[in-house]
Structure formats: C-alpha cells, structure tokens
Chains A and B, each alone.
Chain A
Amino acid sequence: QVQLQESGPGLVKPSETLSLNCSVSGDAIRHYYWTWIRQSPGRGLECIGYTLSGGITYYSHSLKSRATISVDLGKRHFSLKLTSVTAADTAVYYCASGAYGDRLEYWGLGTMVTVSS
C-alpha cells in the first residue's frame, strides 16, 4: 500500500519561503522518482520539478531559481522549498512518486497553499 501525504502551512506571506513536506509510507519507500506538481485555482497542472533517489534534481525552467527539492528516505519524506513567493504561487501542491520515470504513478491528496499578507 503506497501512501503520500503533503503537509505544510496553508498560508504564506508574500516574499517569504514556502516549505512543504511529503511523507512517504508503505512500498513508496522503494520508489526512485520524487516529483512536486502544483495546480493554480481553476488551472491545469504544472510540474515544479523532481528528484531522483540518487540525488539528481530537475526543475521547471520558470521556477529553477526559486525551488529546491530534496528527498530523505531515512526520514521517509521529501520536501519542497519555494523562495520569494507571490500571489501567483497560490495553488494546490501535490507530491507524486513512482519507480518509473515515464509515469506519475502515485499522488498525494494535495495541500492548498495561499500566498497573502
């Protein structure tokens, strides 16, 4: 049974850093691809980036300068940090993982993050 669960503050002030964790349980610990995706209200899916268990990380070109994704299998979680947030970063943030790079096999339930003062 694979379970992913996002956690973090639901409200972040503009210019601050958004920090989210995705806790991993069950067979997910054997996965290799760890991905963060977001969905702005009423909009489609946007991949922020993903990291491999081996340590290589890839980021969306538009978010590369502000995003950091890391995985800590020992602590059974992977994380996202997004700096200097603005209202445009308001979205539902999903974590996803899987053993294969050609599919987003398992998804968390998502967590809504609002950027507002």
Chain B
Amino acid sequence: QSLLTQPPSVSAAPGQKVTISCSGSSSHIANNYVSWYQQLPGRAPKLLIYDNNKRPSGIPDRFSGSKSDTSATLGITGLQTGDEAEYYCGARDSLTVWVFGGGTKLTVL
C-alpha cells in the first residue's frame, strides 16, 4: 500500500483539462517538496514537476503543479493522445527515502 494516495485512473477528451490528486500525511507532503513523474507505456519515469510547481526545461506549460497542506495536484491542459501515461507523485524527507503514490493512469478518450 502506497504512502501517498492517488486515484487509480482519470480520463478526459483531447483538448480538455484533467487534474490528478495526491494526498498524504504532513510528514510526507506538508513538510516536503512534491514532484511528479510521467511514465509512458514501456518507458522509464520522467520528471514532470518538481518543488511542487516548477517545470524542468523542456516540459510544456500545459503541465502544472500545486500543493496545499497535505495534498498536491497535477494539472494537464490541452490534452493530447501522447499524454496517455501513468503519473506518479513523489516526495522525500530527510528521515526517509522516497515515497510515491500508487500511480494514476490517464486515458485520453
């Protein structure tokens, strides 16, 4: 059982917006930075969002992140079929190793 909780799946039509939630305890989310990872089918995870809401170079601004207390949210606008993937939230604090959500499968209808 994952320490961070994500919905198993979300879906939306191309061009629409979707949000994926990630909830956890104060020790994992409230007091630490949250990052998000995209895992395309058969591929390694890829950093999508770090420090709750920052995008690495090369990640389009269709992807956004936010955090409030013990919850974090990934937002994706202008959905494309290429966005179909598994999305994971993750966090690390100084006392533990990385913890992840169970993953959310995004389907673009």
A-to-B contact residues, CB < 8 Å: 35, 37, 44-50, 58-61, 94, 100-110
Contacts and interface: CB of A to CB of B under 8 A. Distances in A.
21 contacts: A44-B2, A44-B88, A44-B100, A44-B101, A45-B90, A45-B98, A45-B103, A46-B100, A47-B99, A48-B97, A58-B96, A60-B97, A94-B44, A100-B50, A102-B50, A102-B92, A103-B51, A104-B37, A104-B90, A105-B50, A107-B45
Task: Determine the interface band of chain B, counting residues with CB < 8 A from chain A.
Answer: 20 to 34
B24 interface: no
Contact of A104 (B32, B45, B96): B45
A108 B46 CA distance: 10
Contacts of A107: 44-47
B97 A104 contact: no
A103 B47 contact: yes
B38 to A, nearest CB: 11
Contacts of A60: 97
Q: Which of B32, B44, B96 has the largest number of chain A CB atoms within 10 A?
A: B44
A52 B37 CA distance: 22
A103 to B, nearest CB: 4
Interface string B37-59: 10000001111001100001000
Contact of A47 (B50, B51, B97): B97
Contacts of B102: 44
Nearest to A94: B44
A104 B103 contact: no
B35 A103 contact: yes
Closest CB pairs A-B (n = 6): A47-B98, A103-B50, A102-B33, A47-B97, A45-B100, A107-B44
Contacts of A59: 97
A50 B99 CA distance: 12
B37 A58 contact: no
A50 B98 contact: yes
